[in-house]
């Protein structure tokens, strides 16, 4: 009997120990933000965190070092997508409520002007290789390209609802996830359709690119798909939180972070010939977006908790790989 008890205790210790090894994210802070909850895109610009706060019709500028608000841009209209031009010191924010894109100086955090677009804008993408700003018009299923220096935007219909965008600098093509068509559209810099990649998954949303290893990651319901960047062929799929919405790829650690609608964050890493879902962490807020600071290995998740706006900060740690029982993996085919 004593031997059996000792064995059970040892088993419990081993399970706890191995579980600790597998835990790669931990919450280190939860901070208050002003205004009603409701957040969309989040991005880094000039070392600061820029948050589209649709619930308050503002853009928050957060200092991650001092962990406090640095500035606030008021009088926005349902701010959604964010694009950053670091070299030009500009931040672009889509106003879904009035069909404009607000231009913010990332040195002074002052508004420099507004760019009109033909329809309600959603996601934004600045492509420095093409020196162009791309805008997804979710309401009418189209994409627009703008020259921020002037001129009217060019708009092309995609016959589907564009959700997110990424740019492949090697092929110089724009990648657009179409939520209601279950595919990724591949476009030239001038918005000519080059290819369409059908997906074996519903409601694709977030998209990220690993240009060096020629991989693309697309969030669908309950999974993140790994696709060949050049052909669109599915190479693997990794379980993720229900309604995975945003995907962030860190090329230094070859880690994927995915945010689901209820505030859960999935951590996925490349391990040899397969991708491993090391953790799905349920945060203390309801949100669907995130940003990753590679220099400090911090994940920022804005959301709501008990009717108040919060910003969760998670720390990514470098622990040993999880056991097979704790991991869900996708072997590349």
Q: Which residues partner with 236 through β-bridges?
A: 226
Specify the pLDDT at position 142: 96
Specify the pLDDT at position 262: 85
Could you tell me if 22 and 14 are in contact, meaning their C-beta atoms sit under 8 angstroms apart? no
Specify the pLDDT at position 12: 40
Q: Terminus-to-terminus CA distance in the chain, angstroms?
A: 48
CB atoms within 10 A of CB 1: 5
The pTM score is 0.88
pLDDT tens track, the chain, 333 positions? 555 444 444 444 344 434 444 448 999 999 999 999 999 999 999 999 999 999 999 999 999 999 999 999 999 999 999 999 999 999 999 999 999 999 999 999 999 999 999 999 999 999 998 889 999 998 899 999 999 888 889 999 999 999 999 999 999 999 999 999 999 999 999 999 999 999 999 999 999 999 999 999 999 988 999 999 999 999 999 998 777 889 999 999 999 999 998 889 999 998 877 899 999 999 999 999 999 999 999 999 999 999 999 999 999 986 544 433 334 444 344
Specify the pLDDT at position 271: 84
Q: Which contacts (CB < 8 Å, 24+ apart) does range 195-198 have?
A: 195/232, 197/227, 197/231, 197/232, 198/232
- What does R_g of the chain's alpha carbons equal in angstroms? 21
Distance CA 170, CA 261 (A): 32
Could you tell me if 184 and 163 are in contact, meaning their C-beta atoms sit under 8 angstroms apart? no
Q: Can you give the residue ranges of every domain in the chain?
A: 40-297
Which CATH code fits 40-297? 2.130.10.10
* C-alpha distances in Å from residue 70, one per residue of 59, 61, 67: 11, 6, 9
């Amino acid at each position: 009997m004593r031997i059996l008890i000792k064995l059970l205790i040892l088993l419990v210790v081993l399970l706890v120990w191995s579980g600790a090894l597998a835990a790669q994210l931990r919450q280190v802070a939860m901070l208050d933000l002003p205004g009603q909850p409701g957040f969309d895109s989040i991005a880094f610009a000039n070392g600061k965190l820029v948050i589209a706060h649709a619930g308050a019709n503002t853009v928050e500028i957060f200092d991650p070092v001092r962990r406090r608000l640095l500035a606030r841009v008021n009088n926005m209209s349902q701010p959604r997508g964010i694009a950053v031009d670091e070299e030009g010191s500009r931040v672009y924010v889509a106003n879904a409520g009035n069909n404009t894109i607000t231009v913010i100086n990332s040195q002074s955090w002052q508004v420099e002007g507004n760019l009109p677009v033909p329809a309600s804008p959603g996601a934004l993408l600045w492509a420095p290789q093409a020196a162009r700003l791309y805008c997804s018009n979710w309401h009418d299923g189209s994409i627009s390209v703008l020259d921020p220096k002037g001129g009217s935007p060019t708009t092309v219909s995609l016959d589907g609802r564009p959700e997110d965008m990424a740019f492949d600098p090697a092929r110089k093509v724009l990648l657009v996830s179409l939520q209601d068509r279950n595919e990724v559209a591949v476009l030239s810099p001038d918005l000519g359709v080059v290819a369409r990649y059908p997906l074996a998954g519903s409601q694709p949303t977030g998209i990220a690119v690993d240009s060096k290893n020629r991989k693309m990651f697309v969030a669908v319901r309950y999974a993140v798909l790994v696709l060949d960047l050049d052909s669109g062929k599915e190479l693997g799929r990794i379980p993720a939180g229900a309604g995975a919405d945003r995907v962030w790829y860190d090329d230094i650690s070859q880690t994927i972070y995915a945010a689901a609608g209820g505030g859960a964050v999935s951590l996925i890493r490349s391990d040899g010939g397969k991708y491993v879902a090391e953790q799905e962490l349920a945060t203390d807020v309801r949100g669907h977006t995130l940003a990753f600071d590679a220099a400090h290995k911090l994940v920022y998740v804005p959301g709501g908790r008990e009717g108040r706006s919060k910003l969760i900060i998670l720390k990514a740690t470098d622990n040993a790989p999880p056991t097979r029982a704790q991991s869900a993996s996708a072997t590349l085919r």
